[in-house]
Amino acid sequence: MEDIRKRSSNVVIHGIREVPDNDDGEARKKAEEDQLQQLLHEIQCDSVSVQKLVRLGKYDGAQGMQRSLKVVTASEQQRDKVLTQAKNLHGSTAFPRVYIQQDLTVRQRERRRELVQQLKLRKANGETNLIIVQDKIVPRRQRP
């Protein structure tokens, strides 16, 4: 529970371009902050204040992989705003392969992975309009 509380105002951004490691640290940090501000502007979250930015994992320039970026917001409400507005990235030309998700514990990620596998299996068996809500697979609500 303590770990969940610590992560309550965090989001993880995958696919955001990483500045090469050969730049000095300050320039790299400034470039990442600018890129994050541009991303927040793209999803219409200009009012969100960022407390901290951290790249997750070890940098390996030879692989050319982009590490995920953990963003600590000022409050849970700001995190929720970022997560609800993340749908605005769909079809974005500036950030084509970037997606945002909440910061989950290891146990939560494992549970989520199992649910996604079950969801894929059920969809392959012909069930439609299913989504994952609060650790359950439920039928999607029909909009009037």
Question: Which DSSP symbol is given to 118?
Answer: H
Q: Provide the edge-to-edge strand list for the sheet that holds 99-102.
A: 50-55, 69-73, 10-14, 99-102
Q: Which two tokens stand for residue 120?
A: 């894929």
Q: What is the CATH number of the domain that holds 69?
A: 3.30.70.330
Residue 14: give the domain boundaries.
2-103
Q: Which helix (H) or strand (E) holds 132?
A: strand 130-133
Q: Which residues on neighbouring strands pair with residue 13, listed in sequence order?
A: 69, 100
Q: Do 14 and 59 reside in the same domain of the chain?
A: yes
| pLDDT in 10s for each residue of the chain, 144 residues | 888 888 889 999 998 888 776 667 788 888 889 999 999 999 999 999 999 999 888 877 666 678 899 999 999 999 999 999 998 888 888 888 899 999 989 999 999 999 999 999 999 999 989 998 888 999 988 877
Q: Do 41 and 78 reside in the same domain of the chain?
A: yes
Is the separation of the CB atoms in 40 and 81 below 8 Å? no
The pTM (predicted TM-score) of the whole model is 0.81
